Structure 1
Amino acid sequence: MSQEQRMQKTFEVENHLGYRILRWVLLVALLSGILMSAVQVVLDAKRVSAELERDAAQTLAMVEDSATQAVFSIDDTLAQQVVDGLFALEPIHMAKITHPDGDELGDRLRPLQDSPFRPLTDPIFGQVREYRESLTRGSNPDLVYGYLEVHYDTAPYARTWLGRALVTFASGIALALILGIVLFVVFHLLLTRPLLRIVQSVKKVDPAHPDDRLVSIPEGHRADELGLWVNATNNLLVAIGDTQKKHREAEDRVTRLARYDTLTGLPSRDAFMEDLQGAIERAQEGHSSIALMVCGIDDFKSVNEQCGFRTGDTILQTVASRLTANLSSDRFNVARLGSDQFVIVEKHLRDGFQAAETAEKVLATIGSPINSGNHRISMTATLGISLFPSDADQADRLLQSAEQTMALAKQTG
């Protein structure tokens, strides 16, 4: 499994940054909405409780004079009328007017309102609010003529409060969710979507040449942190590309030093042997012949001693250049074996006479005078030839046969 496949497999939906942001934003927004709604509900409960107290005080003040008159006159009918009038108000649970000696001049009681929410609201507001007012006259406020007692059922006020509380919670949660979604959209537009575009751009980077196609900066983010990050990444890719380029150049130099002669630019002995083996294999497949010629410059050591090593190097470079120019066809391979020895491979050979013609051409090429500074030097060479497959069918043996032929030719003069 490739790295990209593993990355796609592990990048499940729940790991998306946008999904995680949405989850946290909604959670925080929901908790914030609930907390704010709870605070509002508590404050509203205090307002409702104060409203109940205010309504009760106003009600008592409204009937106080009539209740005082009923007690002062000991008028049961008037007292009952006052009590019945109070029951026109929905919250009244019990009302009575009593004489100081305990006699009730008027009273009335109705059941508490049944509500499924009483277990919730009664602990907050109480089941009943009790109020008791002393009945006096303005001329003698210290003299109490009787008492007006009123009990308020808190259910109507609690029902109103509960309705507002539900609306508060619902609106608070809805507002929080809407705010959370809006924040998520903003996060998505400003962060998640640009990051996904950056990821897609990074996937297009060629690991072998990272500086060929750099990461694109999302539109609108050139001057912010994302743009800074992309620029830093691109600088890193360029640096990596430069390092890889230098590394490849160093490898090419090492390869060239290993495969090519530094003086003449011709393939070295090791590189030539690889090429020769390939030529032999192709010749076997095509049932063709190959001629291998090893050529050594005669008395090259004396030239070095008399004219100097620079002249010797010039001779070797000139010989290599001439051989390469005169044997430029694809049928020929030219290499330097070392010191003053060169090797030529002639492929697709018709017969031995063709190889002899090539050998004469090689000797004539080397025999042409060479100008080096103030010296005009005429060189001769000795050449040994071996043929594939008649002399040998392996690369090293074919080369050995040609070298032995050349050595024998040098000995015989």
Structure 2
Amino acid sequence: MKKLHGVRLDHHKNTEDCASQKLPLPELVRIPMSMHIGAPCTPVVKPRDTVQVGQKIGDTDAFMAVPIHSGVSGTVKAITTYRMSNGRTCPMVEIATDGQQTVCPDVKPPEVTDKASFLKAIRESGLVGMGGASFPTHVKLAPKQKVDTLAINAAECEPYITSDYRQMVEAPDEVLDGVLQVMRWLEIPKAVIGIEANKPEAIRILTEKAASHPEIRVETLPTTYPQGAEKVLIYNTLGRIVGEGQLPADQGVIVMNVSSVAFVSRYLKTGMPLVERMLTVDGDVIGNPCNVVVPMGTPVRDVLAFAQCDLGRAKKLLYGGPMMGICIPDVADPILKANNAILAFEKILDTKPSACIHCGRCLEACPLRLMPTEIAKAFRQKDSEALGAHKVTLCMNCGCCTYACPAKRPVAETNQLAKSFYMNSIKK
């Protein structure tokens, strides 16, 4: 089986040996009612209400959504409006912390007796994909198709980020137990854990842990970006191709991030919903690169202060990695469920573009062998038929094409604009 193409990156895993640590409790958290793909939640608390750790503060009857919980105890200061990265807005609950971290009495291990009660528990936990996609996990775990393999994405292929790695080396039993729980309640007969080769300690630990479970296989993957993309992971571990318009379940696979599956284990034991997460903080203006566990809604500025960031020198702040990360517009913005890193940089490359020289490096770098130059041409001509022929919907915005382009052209951005144009055109 051939491995899919990609690019070789300098991984800068500076924090791989930095054990996770708790962030000092912030004075204020700002918790948006949308940390998932789908409809925002409606707040179920009001100003001056007292809240406790693990208490539900937002919910909705919408199918593609999960409830929101508080990771702190304190008093609701205000219900405000938050502008999300997609430009839309949602309500936001601002909580002044009291320093007590009193746990809500509703927090208790769920009663799971079958698939239905398991899926109900996962929804109530507030779990979404912790690798960045924010897809509600209870929906992902309930496909109509027959699934025979659970694929665990432990590749962590973006530079700098090591939070998934720390999960694997600090609490591998949570990972293994989470895998077994999902397999048990969904009746999935086998699992594969895909880890890039540049994480030998994680590979060793999980291989040893899984030795008594022949139904679980640990697969060492080439250190090539983007190994963590669903289509790439599925092909490189199982040899299955997720075609245009298909979901992983169409190929008999469910993919879960390694931190997500570890959370499943913790939740079933404790009943504490998803109210905090580990993230990596790094970059050339960070004085104390680290992996830190923070409550949801913590302002970015608090995390940066803990990591001794020289904000005066920072020219770019990112949620996530340098390849697919999102710029942080305001250090008052909150940490969300899908955030696995905050990066801060002073040195950024000059990306002033020049004319395309038709060298073909973008095509060579693309894991799915798309043709970005032809996609760009069809987009300029507003030719939706040609965009369809060039499979523009397969683009996953990994950024390999932009990274490989010697002319520094915004190739990935053009692909996304073309994809949006095509999707709108076929809806008409």
Tell me the TM-score range normalised by the shorter chain: under 0.3
Point out which structure has higher relative CO (alpha carbons under 8 A, 6+ apart).
Answer: 2
- TM-score in terms of structure 1 length: 0.16
- TM-score in terms of structure 2 length: 0.16
Structure with greater helix percent: 1
